[in-house]
Amino acid sequence: MTSFYGEYREKNIISDEEGNRISRETVDKWIFRLFLVLIGFMPLIVLGHVEEVVSPLVSDTPLLNSGIKGDLFTHYKSVVTITITVMTSLLLLAKIFFMGGTIRKTILNYFIGGMTLIIVVSTILSPTITIAANGLYNRSDGAFTWICYMALLFIAINVQYPKKAVHYIIYSLYPFILINFFITTMNFSGNDLLNYNITRAIISLFLPEGTNISGGSILLGTLNHFNYMSGTFIIMSMICIVWVLIDTNKIRKIINFIIALIAMATMLMAMSASGFVTFICITPLLIWIAIKSCKKVTSFIYLALFYCITAIIIHILASINPEAWDESIGFFGLEGLYSMEQPESVSYNGNDYGLDLLGSTVHASDGEFTLPVLPESAWSAGTGRVYIWEETLKLVQERPLFGYGLDSLVYHFPHNNLEARGNLAMVTIVDKPHSLYVGTLFGTGILGLVGFLGIVILTAWVAVREIFKFNTEKILLLPLCIAWIAFLIQSFINDSLPGTTGMMFTIIGIVMGILYSKEEVTSK
């Protein structure tokens, strides 16, 4: 009898564990599906949103004052990011507490937890706490969104993925690439989609009655600035071309080759140097992958074709708009090759004729006042970026540990400095630091930057290691590893946004999750 009950209990335990395993697999599938929505669909969202903004400053400058403000590109992306984060968090918790799931023990967990804590503390201590929590009205990249980035990374690490997970991720990016190519091409050719009533009607679906999109608005793509379009679409192009180099399926090679060129053309039409600089930096890794691939000759033929066709695309685009050359190859000291020669301007200067009608000195009865000498209007290095970084670092010295709160630079930057004229070339309200790393330092201080760099270094090391090891069992991860490296490179001169950062943190989390899963199988 004892033997019977012992066997019965053992069968029940086995049955319960089998049921939990099936439940965990189901939960993981749903989490992965939600990740695909975040990666493939969320960056496509362009919908109008208005809100009442209460500025901490009294100003007559539109970007700095209070009032009703509008946004097309970031609010609903942020909403979807937060919603998917909450849903996947609940699913992960259910898996852990009710289905016998476990958390993978990695050093990354400490950096993710530490970074999350620092974000919370920096927000609480911020002089502009509401803005630090929610982000600037037209960027939505505050503490709530950044906590989502950390959560998505953590959740992605602790999921079991299907064998073709990388295939599904890249396939989910095709609509994003193709739709943006169409939008950008329309804009580049002078037929901006916002000139069409149907586009305005779709984008305005959630706007209050009587609210309209202002005249002169343009739609460059589904991301809200040419810098982000450039940086993001070089990532898309690199994902596809790496898959071409390692793939053995001939039809899929051709399809991905075409998609890679489409993404490259989109990047070039954005006319921002960030994407092309990243492309040059990634080139040695592409050559390495071609060398290590199983069909080296074929890989090098595809790679050579890719570079040749890219050069042809640059020529065609530059013939239409010379800036396409200046922001790509021309960025490296060859500017103006496609520009039409402009006649030398003729201007009148009274001093050339020995005239000084008013002079630069005003005399009064109680003394004299000398007008300041303004610097010549010009861009400093990096189209003003170096100047912005220098001024931002000066601000950080006043609040070094926890910073000012994320996405709040616009309310602290010294916009009226005389030096700005000689570094920014035009009247500019600096609303972002033009660098994810400088932005993290400003928003969360030195402690936040250390936590963030810990995540960056650990994940970048894994990505680079996989590229150079070229393990055939993990070869499908290489497109995503290259994507992460490209993202980190372009982030030196581009900011964080819900449409890009959330997607990329999820992707590298998936890479880490797959690698940890393979290590677990090997150890068994």
Q: What pLDDT is stored for residue 376 in this prediction?
A: 57
Residue with tokens 């520009």: 339
Q: Where are the domains of the chain?
A: 2-209+216-336+424-523
* Paired residues of 364 in beta bridges: 367
Max Cα-Cα span within the chain:
120
CA 474: distance to chain centroid?
26
Rg (CA), the chain: 26
CB contact set of 287 (below 8 Å; sequence gap of 6+): 303
Tell how strand 49-53 and strand 367-370 pair up. Answer: unpaired
CA 486: distance to chain centroid?
10
Q: How many CB atoms lie within 10 A of CB 398?
A: 9
State the first-to-last Cα distance of the chain, in angstroms, to the nearest integer: 36
Q: How many angstroms separate the CA atoms of 215 and 212, rounded?
A: 9
Q: What is the dihedral of CA 80, 83, 88, 89, to 10 degrees?
A: 140
Q: How many angstroms separate the CA atoms of 153 and 43, rounded?
A: 17
Q: What pLDDT is stored for residue 205 in this prediction?
A: 86
pLDDT above 90 for 362: no
Q: How many angstroms separate the CA atoms of 406 and 135, rounded?
A: 7
Q: What pLDDT is stored for residue 156 in this prediction?
A: 98
Residue 12 burial by Cβ neighbours in a 10 Å radius (0-12, 13-18, 19+): exposed
pLDDT digits (tens, 9 = 90+) for 108-167: 999 999 999 999 999 999 999 999 999 998 899 999 999 999 999 999 999 999 999 999
CB contact set of 486 (below 8 Å; sequence gap of 6+): 234, 235, 238, 278, 282
CB contact set of 58 (below 8 Å; sequence gap of 6+): 65
Among 24-28, 254-258, 496-500, name the most confident range. 254-258
pLDDT above 80 for 427: no
Whether residue 77 contacts residue 43, with contact meaning beta carbons closer than 8 Å, is answered with: yes
Q: What pLDDT is stored for residue 356 in this prediction?
A: 40
Q: How many angstroms separate the CA atoms of 23 and 6, rounded?
A: 26
How would you write 299-335 as a 3-class SS string? HHHHHHHHHHHHHHHHHHHHHHCCHHHHCCHHHHCCC
- Beta strands per DSSP E along 308-399: 361-364, 367-370
Among 88-92, 192-196, 484-488, which stretch is predicted with the lowest mean pLDDT?
A: 192-196
Alpha-carbon separation of residue 189 from 183, 195, 197, 215 (angstroms):
10, 13, 18, 19
SS3 460: helix
Confidence of residue 218 (pLDDT cuts 50, 70, 90): confident
User: In sequence order, which ranges of 37-142 are alpha helices (DSSP H)?
Assistant: 75-98, 107-124, 129-134
Q: How many angstroms separate the CA atoms of 438 and 403, rounded?
A: 11
pLDDT digits (tens, 9 = 90+) for 90-101: 999 999 999 988
Among 167-176, 257-266, 283-292, 351-360, which stretch is predicted with the lowest mean pLDDT?
A: 351-360
Alpha-carbon separation of residue 28 from 12, 37, 81, 94, 352 (angstroms):
24, 14, 18, 11, 77
Whether residue 427 contacts residue 62, with contact meaning beta carbons closer than 8 Å, is answered with: no
CB contact set of 43 (below 8 Å; sequence gap of 6+): 77, 176, 222, 223, 232, 499, 500, 503
Whether residue 462 contacts residue 515, with contact meaning beta carbons closer than 8 Å, is answered with: yes
* Paired residues of 186 in beta bridges: none
Q: What pLDDT is stored for residue 367 in this prediction?
A: 52
